[in-house]
């Protein structure tokens, strides 16, 4: 799961809005906000992209949880 506070801090440091940060990361605003809300788990490629483009380590941005997000039926 993503650590939303770490992402918000990264956006602030970069002087970027969250929408701008989503564009920088190459993902849609909708998907980005779902990531921040913990509704979706980012793919390995997206996780690597977030870390690389923000210059952060995996542990700075993500945490491992045993539960998965609930999928609407």
- Calpha distance 7→36 (Å, rounded): 8
**Average pLDDT of the residues of the chain:** 89
Please tell me the pTM assigned to this model.
0.77
pLDDT of residue 4: 93
- Calpha distance 40→2 (Å, rounded): 9
Pick the range with the lowest mean pLDDT from 17-26, 28-37, 58-67: 58-67
- Calpha distance 13→25 (Å, rounded): 15
pLDDT of residue 57: 95
- Calpha distance 73→66 (Å, rounded): 21
């Amino acid at each position: 799961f993503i650590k939303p506070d770490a992402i918000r801090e990264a956006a602030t440091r970069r002087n970027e809005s969250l929408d701008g940060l989503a564009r920088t990361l190459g993902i849609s605003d909708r998907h980005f906000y779902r990531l921040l809300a913990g509704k979706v788990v980012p793919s390995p490629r997206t996780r690597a992209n977030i870390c690389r483009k923000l210059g952060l380590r995996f542990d700075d941005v993500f945490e491992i949880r045993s539960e998965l997000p609930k999928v609407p039926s």
